[in-house]
């Protein structure tokens, strides 16, 4: 993509994010990164909670509908006055999963859209809380967790920056 087309695309993304925040209170960025033919874990994060005085939220390894449902539900709670804090464990009626709220020490390496929206350089990134989910009561670092450990990277170990041979894309995988 040439520089002019890329700038036009960024302008459209800026308008889309601002419109979603005006209309719905927050916008969601769902990213399906891939390196060539290898698909890495997907992630989704909010843009708009920082404007309410709350860290943005990030979740790894969920499909778009599940991530969107979770983050929109939590946005409604937060916009209603609820604050999430690191170390807190969340449960929801009718769901077996638990969600551990964890502070992300390197948000500038992940939430590019949020930082672009708030015009913050990565070294002064908006704060982010990661929601790590359990399966059958087990978190990724516990026995019985059925997925590979990289499906939900530990806070501080993930970097979404585009590398020379790949990066965030919608590659259809």
Question: Model confidence over 35-46: pLDDT tens digits?
Answer: 655 557 899 999
Examine residue 113 and state whether it is found in any structural domain, yes or no: yes
CA separation for the pair 144, 114 (Å, rounded): 34
CA separation for the pair 36, 138 (Å, rounded): 32
CA separation for the pair 28, 20 (Å, rounded): 9
Examine residue 9 and state whether it is found in any structural domain, yes or no: yes
Count of domains in the chain? 1
Examine residue 173 and state whether it is found in any structural domain, yes or no: no
Q: What is the dihedral of CA 103, 108, 112, 130, to 10 degrees?
A: -10
Examine residue 37 and state whether it is found in any structural domain, yes or no: yes
Span 12-64, pLDDT tens digits: 887 888 898 889 899 999 998 666 555 578 999 999 999 999 999 999 999 99
Phi/psi-derived region of residue 149, left when phi > 0, alpha when psi is between -120 and 50, beta in every other case: alpha
Question: Where in the sequence is the domain holding 124, given as residue range(s)?
Answer: 3-168
């Amino acid at each position: 993509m040439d520089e002019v087309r890329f700038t036009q695309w960024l302008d459209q993304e800026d308008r889309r994010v601002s419109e979603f925040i005006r209309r719905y209170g927050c916008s969601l960025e769902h990213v399906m990164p891939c390196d060539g033919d290898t698909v890495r874990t997907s992630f989704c994060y909010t843009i708009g909670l920082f404007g309410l005085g709350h860290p943005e939220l990030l979740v790894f390894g969920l499909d778009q509908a599940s991530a969107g449902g979770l983050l929109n539900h939590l946005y409604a709670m937060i916009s209603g006055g609820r604050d999430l804090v690191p170390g807190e464990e969340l449960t929801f009626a009718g769901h077996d999963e638990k969600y551990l709220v964890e502070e992300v020490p390197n948000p500038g390496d992940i939430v590019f859209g949020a930082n672009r929206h708030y015009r913050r350089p990565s070294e002064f990134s908006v704060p982010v809380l990661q929601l790590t989910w359990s399966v059958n009561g087990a978190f990724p670092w516990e026995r019985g967790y059925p997925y590979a450990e990289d499906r939900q990277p530990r806070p501080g170990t993930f970097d979404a920056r585009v590398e020379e041979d790949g990066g965030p894309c919608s590659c259809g995988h």
